[in-house]
Amino acid sequence: MGRCILHVGHPKTGSTYLQTVLHLNEEILQQAGFWVPSDFRQFDSYHCRDLAERGQIFSGNMQAVFEAYEAEQPERVNALLHHILHGGAENLILSSELLFYYNYVVWDIARRAASAGYQVLVIAYLMRQDRAAVGDYLQNVRNHGYHGGVLAFLESKRREKHLQYAKVLKAYNLEAPGRALVRTFDPQFLLGGDLLSDFFAVSRCPLKVSDLRLPEGSLNTGLPLEWCEVLRGLNASGDPAAAAIRDAAPPFGTAERARIMEHYFRDDVRDFVLSEYVHENHDLIETYLADRSEQEKAYWLRVAPAGQGVELDANQMAACCARLRSVDELGLT
């Protein structure tokens, strides 16, 4: 029986990087017995390999399928999935972080794949909710014009079971021959200490990272703290100049990520994470992580300490605002 490996994210767990690597290495993957469908131009849609070659951001090779479901276009869904599931591939790799919270879509794709003779494996990389809460918030500031606070953002997502991982995964209703595999998105729990090594290992793909062509530079990275705050101000005013901030932000490392957590993960956010998410992680552990180490299980039952706030760096603010106008005009002083 062939295998259909369906990678569903979670968002902000390196999905764009993984997807880009997969499409840059389609030929060597195919030689190893793994097909990564890429070319959907016959459906007036994307050519993922071309996007990867140009370093453009995309949401994986299931983006066209997801959009067809969302637009309620069943004939298009049928055509796309027939193309994917009846190509004769021994192993399929399908990916889109857009799918994670769309339970019925994951269930339907898995059902169709099983009917086409595939054993289904859903792989979800999950970031612990304290980090995920801030990461998802900042993604919405950057890409969706959000300008409120972190707590208001989390409260607005309650109905979607946002970050209630066990509830979302169970709603996939996967039965044999389908199953869901949860990976803890933290280097200490990833095989080989990184996403690529872990994904290829759990997918049982014989390739190693050293065999692969990797993207140049950074892909879909976040914004430094001061740039986030400038962008929030622009989002609040509806200023179209916000694009200049998103497109020109400098890369940053571990120290800046710590500053961001210190600034946004305050007492109120921490209390929300503890009350809304962490108690449910017992179910996540029992259902999906029962075979993992005690260290990994314990990791899911704690959160980071609350931050005390960070004084914004005037020089960084000025560097960001130099593209637009003064800090005073943005009202951020």
Ordered DSSP codes for 158-220 = GGGTTT-HHHHHHTT---TTEEEEEEE-SGGGSGGGSHHHHHHHHTT----GGGS---SS--S
User: Are 68 and 196 in a shared domain?
Assistant: yes
Q: Which domain holds residue 229?
A: 225-330
| 221, pLDDT greater than 80 | no
Residues ≥6 apart with Cβ < 8 Å to 30: 36
CATH number at residue 193: 3.40.50
- pLDDT single digits (tens) 106-131: 999 999 999 999 999 999 999 999 99
Q: Which of 54, 63, 62 has its CA nearest to residue 92?
A: 62
Between the CA of residue 19 and those of 142, 221, 292, what are the distances in Å?
21, 14, 26
Is residue 216 a part of any domain in this protein? no
Cα separation of 331 and 239, whole Å?
13
- Inter-axis angle of helices 103-115 and 63-70, nearest 10: 120
Contact between residue 57 and residue 219 where contact means Cβ atoms under 8 Å apart: yes
pTM attached to this predicted model: 0.93
- Across the range 301-313, mean pLDDT stands at 94
User: Are 33 and 172 in a shared domain?
Assistant: yes
Is residue 219 a part of any domain in this protein? no
pLDDT at 219: 66
Cα separation of 124 and 135, whole Å?
17
Is residue 148 a part of any domain in this protein? no
User: Are 32 and 103 in a shared domain?
Assistant: yes
Cα separation of 16 and 23, whole Å?
11
Is residue 135 a part of any domain in this protein? no
pLDDT at 243: 75
| 21, pLDDT greater than 60 | yes
Other CB atoms within 10 A of residue 158 CB: 12
Identify the band that residue 7 occupies on the pLDDT scale cut at 50, 70 and 90. Answer: very high
- pLDDT single digits (tens) 119-164: 999 999 999 999 999 999 999 998 899 999 999 999 999 999 999 9
